[in-house]
Amino acid sequence: MPRIACCRIPDLPLSAALRADPELKGRPLAIASGPGPRAELVSVSPEAGQKGIRRLDRVAQARTLCSELCVKVASPALENAARQALLDAALSCAPRAALAAPLSGSFAAEAVVFAEASGMEAVFQSERGFATALLERVRRLGFGLGCGPWVTVASSQLVARVAARRFAIRHPEGDRVELLSPRSERAFLASLPLDLLDPGDTVQAALTRFGVRTVRDLLQLPRRALGTRLGPEVLELIACARGEASEAPLPCPTEDRRVEALDLEFAIERLEPLNFVIQGLLSRLLERLEARQLACGEILLRLDLEGGGRDARRIGLAAPSLDLRSLVRLVGHALEKHPPEAPVVGVAVETQGQPLQTDQLDLFRPAGPAPDSLGRTLARLELLCGGGRVGSPREANDHRPHRFEIEPFESRATVRSRKAQCPESGAHPPTAVLAVRALRPPVTAEVRLSGSVPDWIRSGVAHGRVLHLSGPWRITGGWWSPESRFAYDYFDVHTSDGTISRLRFDHISGAWHIDAVYD
């Protein structure tokens, strides 16, 4: 029989606000539906509830009851990011998980994620061990500050969800992990109030007129007669009461992109407070990636501007990284280089999760640096040098000479995998390869000619009489544009100081340069 774990957050708007700003924990806090004193409260913290503040109160009314009340405007972007973080926590423990669709009515504020619990005893020693690990992962991602999560395990998604609701009401301060055996589920459901099944308003009103208060009362009524009077909706409710509702299997994860977003209550005009907001978003994003054993790849930064404008920019990384400090400085450098054109009212940070680099240890050698140390170093170098300036050079598909592109460095595991796929033949010994080291910018040289060929060179790289010479090889192009045209004669020269270099004569400027050295 399948087993499903359900992790339920009773009040998502409140939990999302505390996840974004943990310093609000312990203070009277309320989440309003909008700005202004006439906005209704959609969520209230326990500290605010002790002051007499309730849901659906007006902001002005709540402030008269508690002058210290902190009011935050509900942010759909922040709540959606919190839902996705809940899914990441579930997928860090289970191979399959899914978010439940948002509801309306009494349970509109709850957030629920289901995770596959079948067979998890082999990993976590017991079903309770799996549920406890799931609860800990959820708390680690910032959900343990408000109305904390409850985790239940049952034979179906519906029973697990209803059990989480029931235990949250019955034991608000007790153990937050509950297990239901398949044999006890029917008896458990029969004793529940009908409200926990979240029936529709019309059906609930009709059943209330019939005197139906609990699931047991509902199951004692004739099914066919109820269906005739109240329609197919009550038949679905009866199936739920019996624990027989049809459910789709949990899907396997397919999306690796993660977004942390925030709708700002006030427009931000300066870069310093904007960087502070982005630091919080990146911190929560890295926590989600680390829970899934992933690293941050290319960053997509989206800014909602005052007046309806949008500002989107991609910030590339030389290697996947989890170094918050380097990423914050890299994003800040990009904003300083191209500041937004208007005040910012919304921020979103998106990235593609990349697998963390791993390395096989050697039995007979000391442990080397951590596999991700290269990524941290490259991220800091890119911060100093600028985006797109750190990596491995690669020859560009271009007709112009000296053109090259920068591509990310390959990990040692990738290099070993490629070598394993293309093994070298042992019949032929490896041959030495002559490498050319390009000099950027080229080094100016003073050249003495013998006829039309160089005879003597003086430069910062090579100096002396030319012993051996090959060339010239002429390369021309760009004749259609005065700015891009070029005409070079190349010589390979061996000077008396032992240097083998590549000498270049520019026909346009009439200057000599050494643009490469052979190693």
Tokens of 315: 């910030």
DSSP string of 24-67, one letter each residue: GTTS-EEEESSSSTTPBEEEE-HHHHTTT--TT-BHHHHHHH-T
Q: Does 198 map to a domain?
A: no
Residues 278 and 168 in one domain: no
Is residue 518 within a helix (H) or strand (E), and if so which, with residue range?
strand 511-518
Tokens of 384: 């100093």
Tokens of 134: 């799931």
Q: Classify the C-alpha dihedral 83-85-89-91 as positive or negative.
A: positive
Count the residues in the chain.
519
Distance of alpha carbon 53 from its chain centroid, rounded? 36
- φ, ψ (nearest 5 deg) of residue 322: -120, 20
Q: Is 7 exposed, middle or buried (0-12, 13-18, 19+ CB in 10 A)?
A: buried
Question: Residue 364 has what pLDDT?
Answer: 73
Residue 78 neighbours by CB under 8 Å, 6+ apart: 16, 17, 20, 261, 262, 263
Residues 31 and 104 in one domain: yes
Residues 150 and 54 in one domain: yes
Cβ distance 390 to 318 under 8 Å?
yes
Average pLDDT, the chain: 85
Scanning 214-259, the segments in alpha helix (DSSP H) are 215-219, 223-230, 232-241
Q: Which residue has the higher pLDDT, 429 or 298?
A: 298
pLDDT tens digits, residue range 435-489?
788 888 888 999 888 888 888 999 888 889 989 888 888 888 888 888 888 888 9
Q: Does 71 map to a domain?
A: yes
Domain boundary among 381, 414, 447: 414
Cβ distance 303 to 315 under 8 Å?
no
Residues 10 and 154 in one domain: yes
Residues 155 and 277 in one domain: no
Domain CATH number, residue 304: 3.30.1490.100
Strands 150-154 and 177-179: parallel
Question: Residue 14 has what pLDDT?
Answer: 92
Mean pLDDT of 221-225: 84
The CA distance from 100 to 198, in Å, is 14
- φ, ψ (nearest 5 deg) of residue 237: -65, -40
pLDDT tens digits, residue range 409-418?
665 545 555 5
The arrangement of strands across the sheet holding 29-32 comes to 41-44, 29-32, 70-73
The CA distance from 511 to 507, in Å, is 7
Domain boundary among 155, 180, 205: 180
Confidence of residue 257 (pLDDT cuts 50, 70, 90): confident
Residue 514 neighbours by CB under 8 Å, 6+ apart: 439, 442, 443, 445, 457, 459, 461, 462, 501, 502, 503, 504
The CA distance from 315 to 383, in Å, is 11
The pLDDT of residue 420 is above 60: no
DSSP assigned state of 165:
H
Q: Does 204 map to a domain?
A: no
Burial 252-286 (b: 16+ CB within 10 A, else e): ebeeeebbbbbbbeeebeeeeebbebbbbbbebbb
The CA distance from 335 to 453, in Å, is 52
Residues 340 and 467 in one domain: no
Q: Does 430 map to a domain?
A: no
Burial 394-407 (b: 16+ CB within 10 A, else e): eeeeeeeeeeeeee
Confidence of residue 361 (pLDDT cuts 50, 70, 90): low
The CA distance from 422 to 478, in Å, is 40
**Is the whole-model pTM more than 0.85?**
no
Residues 60 and 92 in one domain: yes
Provide the domain count of the chain.
Answer: 3
Residues 144 and 263 in one domain: no
Residues 409 and 442 in one domain: no
pLDDT tens digits, residue range 286-299?
999 999 989 888 89
Question: Residue 368 has what pLDDT?
Answer: 65
Domain assignment of residue 84, given as a range: 4-180
Domain CATH number, residue 53: 3.40.1170.60
The CA distance from 6 to 89, in Å, is 12
Q: Does 319 map to a domain?
A: yes
Query: Residue 40's beta-bridge partner residues?
Result: 58
Cβ distance 103 to 110 under 8 Å?
yes
Question: Residue 419 has what pLDDT?
Answer: 53
Q: Does 70 map to a domain?
A: yes
Q: Does 246 map to a domain?
A: no
Q: Does 318 map to a domain?
A: yes
Residues 441 and 408 in one domain: no
Cβ distance 210 to 234 under 8 Å?
no
Q: Which residue has the higher pLDDT, 363 or 40?
A: 40
Residues 321 and 381 in one domain: yes
Residue 498 neighbours by CB under 8 Å, 6+ apart: none
Residue carrying structure tokens 């109820």 = 226
Domain boundary among 121, 145, 180: 180
Residue carrying structure tokens 């500050």 = 145
Residues 86 and 131 in one domain: yes
